[in-house]
Amino acid sequence: MRIAVPVAEGRLNLHFGHCAGFDVFEVSADKKASGKSYIEAPPHEPGLLPRFLGEKGITHIIAGGMGNRARDLFTERGIVVITGAQPGASDEIVNQFLSGMLITGANACDH
């Protein structure tokens, strides 16, 4: 499993499509984050991020908010999208998700 979290300065960026980049977590079979790297986001272009992240082997995305079209494009690629994550450090968010303790709210995307 490879989890991507859209970030700005190591913290969840609530507007998925305009993040600076992604913290990417390698997750072992026993659901432990075993490595973290950073991928700079390409320039914003509708429909680009699902292809870009899919080519990077991302299997899950944890976001504050994401538009319906982007969610559909990720789903078509078999990438699981979790929205409604609350602001915080990407490490904490991923660890909460892996332990089943991630609390999500409404999709923060307003369009």
Could you tell me the end-to-end alpha-carbon distance of the chain, in angstroms, rounded to an integer? 29
Q: pLDDT band for 34, please (50, 70, 90 cuts).
A: confident
Averaged pLDDT for residues 48-52 = 92
Please say if the pLDDT value at position 4 is more than 70.
yes
Please say if the pLDDT value at position 108 is more than 70.
no
Q: pLDDT band for 32, please (50, 70, 90 cuts).
A: confident
pLDDT, one tens digit per residue, over 61-90 is 999 989 889 899 999 999 999 999 999 999
H/E stretch holding 62: strand 60-62
Please say if the pLDDT value at position 9 is more than 80.
yes
Dihedral over Cα of 26, 84, 87, 98: its sign: negative
Please say if the pLDDT value at position 109 is more than 80.
no
Higher per-residue confidence, 79 vs 31: 79
Q: Residues 2-98: name the CATH superfamily.
A: Dinitrogenase iron-molybdenum cofactor biosynthesis domain (3.30.420.130)
Q: pLDDT band for 110, please (50, 70, 90 cuts).
A: low
Please report, for the chain, the start and end positions of each structural domain, with discontinuous segments joined by +.
2-98
